[in-house]
Amino acid sequence: MIDLYTWQTPNGEKPVLMLEECGLDYRLHMIDISAGEQKTPEFLAINPNGKIPAIVDREGGEDHAVFESGAILIYLAEKTGKLLPAAGTARYETLQLTFFQVGGTGPMLGQWHHFTNAAPEKLPYAIERYKKESLRLLGVLDDRLKDRDFLAGDYSIADVVNFGWARSGLSGLKDEGADTLTHLKAWTERVGSRPAVKAAIEKLDHAKRSKQG
What SS3 class is residue 5? strand
Give yes or no: residues 64 and 95 share one domain. Answer: no
Domain CATH code at residue 174: 1.20.1050.10
pLDDT at 60 over 90: no
**What is the pLDDT averaged over residues 19-28?**
97
* Domain encompassing residue 15: 2-83+196-212
Residue 211, SS3 per DSSP: helix
* Cα–Cα distance for residue pair 112/173, rounded to 1 Å: 10
Mean per-residue pLDDT of the chain? 96
Task: Tell me: pLDDT of 212 over 90.
Answer: no
User: How many domains does the chain divide into?
Assistant: 2
Angle between helices 157-172 and 69-80 (to 10 degrees): 150
Q: Contact at 8 Å (CB) between 187 and 8?
A: no
pLDDT at 115 over 90: yes
Residue 29, H or E segment: strand 26-30
pLDDT band at 13 (very low <50, low <70, confident <90, very high): very high
Q: Are residues 126 and 69 in the same domain?
A: no
Q: Residues 36, 125: one domain?
A: no
Q: Are residues 61 and 145 in the same domain?
A: no
Residue 62: pLDDT band with limits 50, 70, 90: confident
Residues 111 and 159 in one domain: yes
Q: Is the per-residue pLDDT at 213 higher than 80? A: no
CA separation for the pair 48, 157 (Å, rounded): 25
* Same domain flag for 19 and 93: no
Q: Same domain for 102 and 37?
A: no
- What's 114's DSSP letter? I
Q: What is the pLDDT of residue 61?
A: 80
Residue 61 belongs to domain with CATH number: 3.40.30.10
Residue pair 134/70 in contact (Cβ under 8 Å)? The answer is no
pLDDT at 135: 98
